[in-house]
Structure 1
Amino acid sequence: METAAAAPGVVAVAYSGGRDSTALLFATLQVARPLGWRVVALHVHHGLHPRADEWLAHCRRQCEAWRRCGWPVSLVWEHLGLHPAPGQSVEAVARRARYQALRRMAMGQGATVVLLGHHRTDQAETFVLQALRGAGVAGLAGMPAAAHREGLVWLRPWLGRPRSEIEAYVRRHRLRYVDDDSNADERYARNRLRARVWPALLEAFPQAEAALADAAAWAQEAATCLDELAAIDLSSLDHGQGLDLRACLRLPPARARNALRAWIRQASGQRPSMPLLERLWHEGPHRATARWDWAGGELRLYRGTLRWCPHSGQPAGAREGVREARLSLRGAGAIALPGWGGRLHVEAVDHGGVPWSRLRRLELRARSGGEQFQAGPGRPPRSLKKQFQSAGVAVWAREGPLVYDVQGHLLFVPGLGMDARTWAEPGRRQWRLRWEPTA
């Protein structure tokens, strides 16, 4: 979908056809017409419910009816056809895909604001569910009234309004909406809460909804303060190459865990789980080298520095059994070597390189043991293991092919560079190799 230029006076409303989104769309139209705004109703067809086609048809009829009455509304929809894998949360998969689709449609219509129909009851329910899942402050904060993400402003204008007010609004204006019967399916946690827990909770504590929503607001303020504190701490703990885990753990425990949590979220894009934090907290101080799987990648610890590296999906050559290969070079540039899990770069340099005659035909080999490398002129050749340790090269940064010329001379080692025994004489044109892992 092509993205239109952001147009003033265009507002998007997430419109499922249900009661809450119908009320929000109708209320938005009341404000939009006198101001000359254009309202875009965004409908997501998940492809999960047998009545989803009916809901889309209802939304189309309703928007067309309002349009004939002179209301400035248009409907845009996207069919997702989701197929969650076994073991995946249907709710989580649908939620992620829905927000991605809403963003695509809003940007395509030139809208910069998307309105969402969540209300105070939703917020209170979210607080309870997050607490039951053992969430921290960020999870208890629930849904923000306003959020800026990926070029859009997401607004929940009714977050302070109870569901009862929206129900009364719908009755007063005789609005027609679809009823999602999956809302009665108690396999889903929120539905169980609404059916079994919420009525009893309100009977025992009539002010529970307002109190829980207020608690979420307090949690939002606390989460903001914790984020700001983490930013202060990470300014001295993150040196660009990763997190100084040793320095982080010297902070007071609560502050250290807050900084660690924030750094993992920034690095990987996902808030860390409690089990992961516990492992890092207890294992990190006692291990010089370690890996922990997380968020489609790995958290890697080496000599006190923690890094997050995404998986490319392509394992390194040595792990795949690739032992030898031949390569012909034609000039500077990058050569993809997926079987080895990376790219080999060829670069012109002023010193520390080799003559081009050595690079025309190369042999790539996996480590077999006994190889020696000379780190610089006048230095003794030493085993790769000792050279790696001396240079502080992490174990996972040592993967990749050893590069030899056709005479069998070692030219290049990933993580160490060009072997000084093959360097070109000063003043001669020369090139060097550089390894970029993608796995």
Structure 2
Amino acid sequence: MPDSPVVAVAYSGGRDSTALLHATARSAQDLGLRVLALHVHHGLSAHADDWLAHCREQCEAWAASGLPVQFLFRRLDGQPGAAQSIEAWAREGRYEALQAMAKEQGADLLLLAQHRRDQAETFLLQSLRGAGVAGQAAMPALQQRGGLTWVRPWLGRSREAVEAYLQAHGLGFIDDDSNLDPRYARNRLRLQVWPVLSESFPQAEAALAQSAQWAQQALDLQREMAAHDLALLASEAGLDLRQLRQLSPARASNALRAWLLQVLDDPAPASLVLRLLEEAEVHGRWPCAAGELHLYRGLLSLQAVAPASPVSPRSSLQLDLSRPGLYPQPGWQGAWQVELVQNEGASEDVLRCLTMRERSGGEQFQPHVKGLPRSLKKCFQDQAVPAWLRQGPLLFCGDELVFVSGLGMDARRLAEPGAPQLRLSWIPDARL
């Protein structure tokens, strides 16, 4: 059924994924669906090749019996980074491989086999690590990621229910010997802590999984509140830290963490959040993984660190920017963007023969048509342009200043109303 709708299942060959794959394939047979069994060969165990062979043979046997299942696999390359655990490296590589295989086959739904015990363990582990609500929310039942819908349909099922399914259908599965290795935190929890916990508190699994659900609701509420606050406090230029600090401490921390997640693409360390809330006044700089956070006149922004260029940015260059497009300038660590506009632009003639160079001192800039030319330093101060945004190039047409990065077009070089015109923008490499 090559043209049938397709659903993917992450299939390691272990007990949980074996049960989920088999149950999905049985349901798909009645619904006219095609099932992809996606296996990731991590290369971490001496038995990895045997596991791959088992999974392939299992799927081939099921397909021969009439189940609409197709086996696919991918091997992981590389190794963990210097500050990365084997668990984290394997998890990230596995998700990337699963996503790639699913999308290549046209699947937009991927099923994962975690059950209620897994959810309870995750909640407990995150709590022991001092995680906040985001960590205690554990694993979502449904998640949109990379153009794919990831679903964990068995988060409400007990491990005993999964084992009962395996026995009822006589399904063979792989026992991963690494699950007995106490070096891994989850294994220590399962082997040493969970038996005692469940004996003393028989409802621990259900109770901890329920706590994860409450944490998920709290996390949703935090995100809604952060979205409301950031709509008022954040812009492309940055975050208004003065207004943010007028909120209650908990609400300010929540909004700041949400904004940092947006600009850094990763959760910010708690120490950085505290420093920004406690130390930030009017000006300041704070290093972070993505570059450097800058505070200027109460506005917090991220300045990514661009790679050093072997070409000196001090040399002048002749440019023709009279056509729309993006014009990279490697020696200046940025690019000119040229766009057609109806107003506030320059004519093609002005942009055809330009000279790009850095500030030399004494330049005069006129920000408004009815204004007067003023020194660049004064214009930067009036427009609250921070020092790190004043380092871009200037454009001249002959001896006349045309454009200043951080300020825009000199009003004396604007085209006549109604005439064809183009707008310039200077984009640092870090923003490209």
Q: What range describes the TM-score normalised by the shorter chain of this pair?
A: 0.7 to 0.9
SS of structure 2 residue aligned to 1:324: coil
- 2:35 is aligned with 1:44: no
The letter of the residue matching 1:281 is L
User: Which residue pairs with 2:76 in the alignment?
Assistant: 80
The within-5 A match list for 1:21-420 is 21-239=17-235, 241-284=237-280, 286-294=281-289, 296-308=290-302, 313-315=306-308, 321-329=312-320, 331-333=322-324, 334-346=326-338, 359-376=351-368, 379-405=371-397, 407-419=398-410
Range 128-137 or range 84-93, more displaced: 84-93
**Distance of aligned partners of 1:49 and 1:363 in 2 relative to their CA distance in 1, 3 Å threshold:** farther
Code of the aligned partner of 2:52? L
Distance, in Å, in 1 between the alignment partners of 2:412 and 2:403 is: 11
How far off its partner does 1:291 sit?
4.6
Structure 2, unpaired ranges of 5+:
none
Residues 247 and 15 (structure 1 numbering): CA distance in 2 closer, same or farther, change over 3 Å?
same
Computed over aligned residues only, the root mean square deviation of the Cα atoms, in angstroms, reads 3.1
Contact 2:126-2:135 at 8 Å conserved across structures:
yes
1:64 maps to amino acid? E
Q: CA deviation at 1:156?
A: 1.5
Match of 2:318, as an amino acid? L
Q: State the AA in 1 paired with 2:55.
A: C
Shift of 1:368: 4.5
TM-score by length of 2: 0.87
Task: For residues 185-241 of structure 1, give each alpha carbon's deviation from its aligned partner in whole angstroms, at most 9, with x where no partner exists.
Answer: 333222232233323333433332222112111111211222222233333223454
1:378 shift after superposition? 6.6
The alpha-carbon distance between structure 1 residues 352 and 263, as it changes in their structure 2 partners (threshold 3 A), is closer
Distance 1:129 1:370, change over 3 A: farther
Please give the residue correspondences for 1:9-28 in structure 2 after superposition, counting only pairs within 5 Å. Answer: 10-28=6-24
Q: Is the 8 A contact 1:326 1:363 kept in 2?
A: yes
Of 185-194 and 384-393, the range deviating more from structure 2: 185-194
Corresponding letter in the other structure for 2:307: Q
Distance in structure 1 (CA, Å) of the matches to 2:34 and 2:207:
37
> What is the Cα deviation at residue 413 of structure 1?
1.7
Aligned equivalents of 2:56, 2:340: Cα separation in 1: 61
**Hey, what's the Cα distance between the residues in 2 that align with 1:429 and 1:110?**
45
TM-score, length basis structure 1: 0.86
Residue by residue over 1:283-303, the C-alpha shift from the partner in whole angstroms, topping out at 9 and shown as x without a partner, is 23x133535424x35444333
Once structures 1 and 2 are overlaid, which stretch shifts more, 210-219 or 366-375?
Answer: 366-375
How many equivalent residue pairs?
Answer: 428
Show structure 1 runs of 5+ residues with no match.
none
Q: Residue type of the partner of 1:401?
A: P
Cα drift, residue 59 of structure 1: 1.0
